[in-house]
């Protein structure tokens, strides 16, 4: 796999080719990735995989017209042909008054801080196999576990480079380590499956295989013998593993492109008390070893920590160049970039700050409620805020977690859900978008 220096050099070469072919402006992005994983099942080696990929994308501007194209052909003649075709496509594309490169004065130009995103401790295939086996063994040792879908351990490395025709040229490398297990509990038609995993930047930050495996086993065994639940309104408590999805709907509704398209339930609610006054949601793209950390965004704009929700109110939209121009708002450093296509919007490390009560205290006064551990389906309308998802989890009875429940639907409206949200104190920064356990009263639960 190519290194960050070579990736950046290819980007600069492609931008120069585009300018030579007649582009008024251009930028190029290169991504290269390599990963190695080992999978086991029932104590035996099942597969060993190694993959590598390299892609480079070019975006060109001819006046107010633009095009984007990408390739995995890094040969000089392939890059020259790519640049020529991109310029030809741009000349016949419709005009877009908002597309363009980021202003030079907003580009990141400082010293790159060391966010510790790449671990040079790369495990051998033997070490990966041993970790996967230990993780699966710990899961299978949990009483009630009857079968296994397997355990796995993997390591990956990614290189990113971005160059523009107005002088920006930066690149960096990241890496990750992942350990997981998935097991089955119960017999015959009563079988249930669940999993646990962790991903970290540094191998030394991974929990032990025993901890991850035991969590997978506990999650599977507590799902055995689920029942439905009578349709009613009740308090719903969200496990952190699914709570990030609810927070993700807020972030999607805050994106500048959604606001520009008038496709967000937050339009007109900028000054509204969406959450409790004491609630904060913060973003820190410069977090050391963060899973979504980055120094600059997909258009070269510097990233900085910011508060997204303060005193229960949103603090503004998340913009890229196109949406900031269309809305007449500042750039916020949230451009997201794939190998091809125009930049979108992507948040960095986001967390809903922890509350002051434990999970036990959060549910202590719930006589009849639902603790959600899994969500299914895509029944969320970001234009209206209407929310409806399939769910499973545990019944809450008299302040205690009780029998497993499944085949139910939970529903509500996101602004109303946000206003009722109460957070517990068990926040862990392990996913990139993180929440503690939280409670929302008055949700509709549909079951039997």
Residue 341: per-residue pLDDT: 83
Rounded average pLDDT over 142-162: 97
Q: Whose CA is closest to 179, among 221, 242, 117, 137?
A: 137
Q: Which of 102, 127, 143 is the last residue of a domain?
A: 102
What is the enclosing helix (H) or strand (E) of 127?
helix 125-140
pLDDT tens digits along 87-96: 999 999 999 9
Q: Which of 285-294, 339-348, 405-414 has the lowest mean pLDDT?
A: 339-348
Share of the chain above pLDDT 70, in %: 100
**Residues 21-46 as b or e (16 or more Cβ within 10 Å = b):** bebbbbbbbbbbbbbbbbbbbeeeee
**pLDDT tier, 152 (very low <50, low <70, confident <90, very high otherwise):** very high
Residue 143: per-residue pLDDT: 97
Residue 370 lies in a domain: yes
Which residues, in sequence order, are bridge partners of residue 47? 39
User: Rounded to whole angstroms, how far apart are CA atoms 437 and 199?
Assistant: 20
| Model confidence, pTM | 0.94
Phi-psi region of 407 (alpha: psi -120 to 50; beta: other; left: phi over 0): left
The CATH number that applies at residue 59 is 3.30.2290.10
Residue 191 lies in a domain: no
Residue 95 lies in a domain: yes
Alpha-carbon distance values, 339 to 256, 290, 298 (Å)? 21, 22, 10
Residue 214 lies in a domain: no
In sequence order, which residues have a C-beta less than 8 Å from that of residue 54 and are 6 or more positions away? Answer: 1, 2, 30, 31, 32, 33, 72, 74
pLDDT tens digits along 263-306: 999 999 999 999 999 999 999 999 999 999 999 999 999 999 99
Total domains in the chain come to 2
Rounded average pLDDT over 409-425: 97
pLDDT of 400 > 90? The answer is yes
Provide the CA 145 distance to its chain's centre, in angstroms. Answer: 30
Residue 312 lies in a domain: yes
Rounded average pLDDT over 37-48: 97
Rounded average pLDDT over 405-433: 97
Q: 232 with 98, same domain?
A: no
pLDDT of 339 > 90? The answer is no
pLDDT of 328 > 90? The answer is yes
Q: Whose CA is closest to 382, among 280, 234, 277, 261?
A: 261
**pLDDT tier, 81 (very low <50, low <70, confident <90, very high otherwise):** very high
Q: Whose CA is closest to 329, among 341, 340, 305, 345?
A: 345
DSSP per-residue letters across 246-265: HHHHHHHHTBHHHHHTT--T
pLDDT of 190 > 90? The answer is no
Over the chain, what is the mean pLDDT?
96
Count, residues in the chain: 448
Helix axes 76-92, 4-20, angle to 10 degrees: 50
DSSP per-residue letters across 66-110: EEEEEES--SHHHHHHHHHHHHHHHHHSPB-SS--PPPGGGB--S
Residue 243 lies in a domain: yes
Residue 207 lies in a domain: no
The whole domain housing 11 covers 4-35+50-102
Residue 413 lies in a domain: yes
DSSP per-residue letters across 133-145: HHHHHHHHTSTTE
Share of the chain above pLDDT 90, in %: 94
Residue 4: per-residue pLDDT: 83
Contact between 422 and 438 under an 8 Å Cβ cutoff? The reply is yes
pLDDT of 378 > 90? The answer is no
**Residues 48-85 as b or e (16 or more Cβ within 10 Å = b):** eeeeeebbbbbbbbbeebbbbbbbeebeeeebbebbeb
Residue 221: per-residue pLDDT: 97
**pLDDT tier, 3 (very low <50, low <70, confident <90, very high otherwise):** confident
């Amino acid at each position: 796999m190519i290194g960050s220096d070579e990736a950046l050099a290819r980007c600069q070469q492609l931008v120069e080719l585009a300018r030579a072919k007649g582009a008024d402006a251009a930028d190029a992005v290169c991504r290269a990735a390599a990963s190695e994983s080992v999978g086991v099942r029932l104590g035996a080696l099942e597969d060993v995989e190694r993959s590598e990929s390299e892609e480079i994308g070019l975006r060109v501007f001819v006046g107010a017209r633009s095009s984007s194209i990408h390739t995995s052909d890094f040969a000089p003649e392939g890059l020259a042909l790519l640049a020529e075709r991109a310029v030809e496509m741009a000349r016949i594309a419709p005009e877009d008054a908002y597309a363009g490169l980021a202003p030079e004065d907003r580009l990141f130009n400082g010293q790159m801080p060391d966010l510790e995103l790449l671990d040079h401790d790369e495990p051998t295939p033997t070490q990966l196999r041993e970790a996967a086996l230990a993780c699966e063994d710990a899961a299978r040792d949990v009483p009630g576990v009857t079968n296994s879908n397997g355990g796995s351990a993997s390591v990956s490395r990614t290189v990113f480079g971005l160059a523009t025709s107005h002088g920006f040229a930066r690149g960096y490398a990241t890496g990750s380590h992942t350990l997981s297990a998935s097991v089955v509990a119960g017999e015959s038609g009563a079988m249930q499956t669940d999993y646990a995993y962790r991903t970290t930047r540094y191998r030394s930050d991974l929990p032990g295989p025993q901890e991850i495996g035991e969590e997978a086993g506990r999650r599977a065994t507590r799902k055995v013998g689920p029942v439905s639940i009578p349709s009613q309104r009740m308090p719903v408590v969200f496990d952190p593993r699914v709570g990030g999805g609810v927070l993700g709907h807020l972030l999607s509704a805050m994106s500048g492109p959604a606001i520009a398209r008038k496709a967000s339930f937050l339009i007109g609610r900028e000054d509204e008390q969406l959450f409790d006054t004491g609630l904060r949601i913060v973003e820190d793209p410069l977090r050391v070893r963060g899973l979504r950390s980055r120094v600059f965004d997909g258009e070269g704009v510097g990233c900085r920590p910011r508060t997204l929700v303060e005193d229960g109110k949103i603090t503004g939209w998340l913009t890229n160049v196109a949406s900031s121009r269309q809305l007449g708002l500042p750039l916020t450093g949230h451009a997201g970039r794939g190998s091809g296509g125009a930049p979108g919007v992507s948040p960095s490390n986001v967390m809903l700050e922890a509350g002051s009560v434990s999970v036990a205290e959060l549910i202590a006064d719930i006589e009849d409620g639902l603790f959600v551990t899994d969500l299914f389906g895509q029944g969320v309308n970001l234009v209206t805020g209407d929310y409806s998802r399939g769910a499973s989890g545990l019944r809450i009875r008299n302040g205690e977690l009780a029998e497993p429940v499944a085949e139910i639907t939970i529903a509500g409206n996101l602004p109303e859900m946000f206003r009722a949200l109460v957070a517990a104190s068990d926040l862990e920064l392990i996913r990139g978008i993180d929440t503690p356990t939280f409670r929302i009263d008055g949700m509709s639960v549909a079951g039997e």
